[in-house]
């Protein structure tokens, strides 16, 4: 008689920042997971009103609580948990769940099932549905656009139409699975991103190092779209978001892809800068321009980072990466139509904090 294999141990990280009620609901959904080998790590990111103590009182030793003195952003908070998990070397995988999301009981089991189909799968994206309307998608992963932007894949579309597993270029950090061995090799989130598009950067870094990103439609969570992000979003947030997306694009993509994308980059940026003011959003256009210019001023640092990452490169042929991108014309048209209908969407609207 052969014994059944030991189930993969997974550390799940939930980041709390002044969101006690949401975080408690997220943790309760993790305590109900069918996969037995789960460690729940809650990082309190400098919350007010002693929320760390409230979480400790509610959950006790069912969670591992890491209380940080200040808000270090999505990147800093999660990196602190990553470093602890990787140093202890007990868990083969690390999962992230936004504190304003709740996971179905089979969430971890389905993420692992997708990860174990191919040993080089480094990241698995979830099917994130809207908490207020579970039949509609928040996202089914992330699109990389040829214009240098990042967009939620399938935002506000019927969730049932996204039932097929797929290979992606990027996953949303609100609900995903990361292979620990991959993180040790390629590194963690870029701390200077603070919040937004750190997931796209990490995903592209993984792809360029030869790891796969997969979408697991059976790994379901329900997400309160923009519940956290609306509390912190201001002009500086939008500027940093555009800067981060540009960094992810310029640091990670092969030079032939960047050159082929150049016409799309120029056309899309001109369109945004012309159309946003006409749509009554001149401040958004100004923030967009500032974000692009900030990234362009950092080109020497971007070039240095490309050189640093060169030894890790084991990517698919560049033309496959170019073909896997999403047309910015198609996505801009879809998002624009949703905006005209009053949908709360946008290239930068993904709750990450």
Instruction: Please state, as a whole number, how many other Cβ atoms lie within 10 Å of the Cβ of residue 347.
Output: 23
Instruction: Tell me what pLDDT residue 229 has.
Output: 63
- Residue-wise pLDDT for 97-153, tens only, equals 999 999 999 999 999 999 998 889 999 999 999 999 999 999 999 999 999 899 999
Average pLDDT estimate for 30-37: 97
Report the SS3 class of residue 40. strand
Instruction: Check whether 231 has a pLDDT greater than 70.
Output: no
User: What's the pLDDT band for 337 if we cut at 50, 70, 90?
Assistant: confident
Average pLDDT estimate for 165-192: 97
Instruction: Tell me what pLDDT residue 214 has.
Output: 98
Instruction: Tell me what pLDDT residue 353 has.
Output: 34
Instruction: Tell me what pLDDT residue 348 has.
Output: 40
pTM, two decimal places: 0.93
Instruction: Check whether 211 has a pLDDT greater than 80.
Output: yes
| E-only strand ranges, the chain | 10-16, 38-45, 64-68, 93-97, 101-103, 121-130, 137-139, 142-144, 150-152, 166-168, 175-179, 212-223
In the Cβ-directed half-sphere of 96, how many Cα atoms lie within 13 Å?
30
Pairing of β 10-16 and β 38-45: parallel
Average pLDDT estimate for 334-338: 75
Pairing of β 38-45 and β 64-68: parallel
User: Can you tell me the distance from the alpha carbon of 200 to that of 173, in angstroms, rounded to the nearest whole number?
Assistant: 8
User: What's the pLDDT band for 326 if we cut at 50, 70, 90?
Assistant: very high
Instruction: Please state, as a whole number, how many other Cβ atoms lie within 10 Å of the Cβ of residue 181.
Output: 14
User: What's the pLDDT band for 352 if we cut at 50, 70, 90?
Assistant: very low
User: Can you tell me the distance from the alpha carbon of 218 to that of 126, in angstroms, rounded to the nearest whole number?
Assistant: 8
User: Can you tell me the distance from the alpha carbon of 98 to that of 61, in angstroms, rounded to the nearest whole number?
Assistant: 21
Instruction: Tell me what pLDDT residue 2 has.
Output: 46
Instruction: Check whether 5 has a pLDDT greater than 70.
Output: no
Instruction: Tell me what pLDDT residue 46 has.
Output: 94
Average pLDDT estimate for 167-193: 97
Instruction: Please state, as a whole number, how many other Cβ atoms lie within 10 Å of the Cβ of residue 31.
Output: 12
User: What's the pLDDT band for 230 if we cut at 50, 70, 90?
Assistant: low
Instruction: Check whether 50 has a pLDDT greater than 80.
Output: yes
Instruction: Tell me what pLDDT residue 332 has.
Output: 81
User: Can you tell me the distance from the alpha carbon of 295 to that of 301, in angstroms, rounded to the nearest whole number?
Assistant: 9
Q: Which of 20-29, 59-68, 222-231, 321-330 has the lowest mean pLDDT?
A: 222-231
- Residue-wise pLDDT for 249-285, tens only, equals 999 999 999 999 999 999 999 999 998 998 889 999 9
Tokens of 224: 């309160």
Instruction: Tell me what pLDDT residue 88 has.
Output: 96
Instruction: Tell me what pLDDT residue 234 has.
Output: 82
Instruction: Tell me what pLDDT residue 316 has.
Output: 86
User: What's the pLDDT band for 344 if we cut at 50, 70, 90?
Assistant: very low
* Mean pLDDT (the chain, rounded): 92
Average pLDDT estimate for 154-164: 95
CB 98 within 8 A of CB 175: yes
Average pLDDT estimate for 208-218: 97
């Amino acid at each position: 008689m052969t014994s059944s294999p030991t189930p993969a141990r997974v550390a799940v990280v939930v980041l709390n920042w002044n969101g006690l009620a949401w975080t408690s609901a997220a943790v309760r959904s993790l305590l109900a997971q069918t996969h037995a080998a789960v460690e729940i790590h809650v990082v309190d990111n400098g919350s007010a009103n002693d929320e760390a103590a409230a979480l400790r009182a509610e959950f006790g030793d069912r969670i591992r609580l890491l209380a940080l003195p200040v808000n270090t952003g999505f990147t800093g908070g999660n990196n602190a948990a990553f470093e602890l998990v990787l140093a202890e070397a007990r868990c083969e995988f690390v999962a992230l769940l936004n504190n304003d999301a709740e996971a179905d009981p089979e969430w971890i089991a389905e993420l692992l099932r997708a990860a174990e189909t191919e040993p080089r799968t480094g990241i698995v994206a979830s099917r994130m549905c809207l908490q207020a309307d579970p039949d509609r998608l928040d996202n089914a992963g992330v699109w990389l656009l040829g214009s240098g932007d990042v967009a939620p894949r399938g935002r506000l579309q019927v969730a049932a139409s996204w039932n097929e597993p797929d290979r992606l270029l990027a996953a949303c950090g609100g609900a995903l699975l990361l292979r620990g061995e991959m993180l040790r090799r390629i590194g963690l989130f870029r701390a200077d991103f603070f919040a937004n598009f750190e997931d796209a950067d990490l995903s592209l870094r993984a792809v360029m190092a030869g790891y796969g990103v997969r979408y697991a439609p059976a790994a379901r969570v329900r997400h309160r779209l923009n519940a956290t992000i609306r509390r912190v979003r201001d002009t500086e947030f939008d500027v940093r978001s555009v800067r981060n997306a540009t960094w992810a694009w310029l640091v990670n993509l092969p030079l032939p892809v960047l050159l082929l994308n150049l016409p799309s980059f120029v056309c899309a940026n001109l369109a945004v800068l012309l159309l946003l003011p006409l749509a009554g959003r001149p401040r958004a256009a100004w923030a967009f321009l500032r974000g692009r210019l900030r990234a362009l001023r950092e080109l020497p640092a971007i070039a240095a980072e490309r050189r640093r990452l060169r030894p890790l490169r084991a990517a698919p042929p560049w033309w496959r990466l170019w073909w896997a991108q999403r047309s910015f014309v198609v996505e801009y048209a879809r998002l624009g139509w949703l905006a005209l209908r009053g949908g709360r969407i946008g290239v930068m609207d993904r709750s990450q904090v």
